[in-house]
A and B are shown apart, each in its own frame.
Chain A
Amino acid sequence: MGDNLKNTYLGAPARVLEVENLTSIEKLYTLRFLDNDINNKFNFIPGQFVMFNVPGIGEFPVSICSSPTRTGYLQLCIRRAGRVTKYVHENIVEGSIVYIRGPYGNGFPLEEMKNSPIVLVAGGLGMAPLRSILLYHLDTQHFSDLYLFYGVRNYELMLFKREIRTLLRGYYNVHVYLSFEDIDRGARELIRLYRKSIVRGMVTDALEVLRGSVPFEESYAVMCGPPVMYKFVVKKLLDLKVRPDRIYMTLERRMKCGIGKCGHCIVGTSTSIKYVCLDGPVFTYWDVLSTKGLIE
Chain B
Amino acid sequence: MTMRKISISELSRVEGIGSVEIFINGKKVRDVRVKLIEGLRFLELIPRGLLYKEVPGIVSRICAICYASHAIASSMALEKALSIKVDRRDKMLRELLLYGELLESHALHVYFLIAPDIYDELDFIELYKKDKSLVKEGFMLVKLGNMLREIIGGRPIHGLNIIPGGFVKRPSADSIDKVLEITENIVESSLILERMLKCYPEAGPMEGSVAIATGDHYLYGNRLITSTGKESKNYRVILEEQTEEYSHAKSALHSGRPAVVGAISRVLLKEKFLSREARELLNSIEHDQKYITYNVICQGAEIVEALERILSILKELSKLNVETHIEEPYPKKFSGEGFGYIEAPRGVLVHHYLVEDLILSKANIITPTAINQKSMERAVHNHVETLIFNKGSLNENDVISCAEQIIRAFDPCISCSVHVCFIK
Q: Do chains A and B touch in the complex (CB under 8 A)?
A: no
Interface residues of B (CB under 8 A from A): none
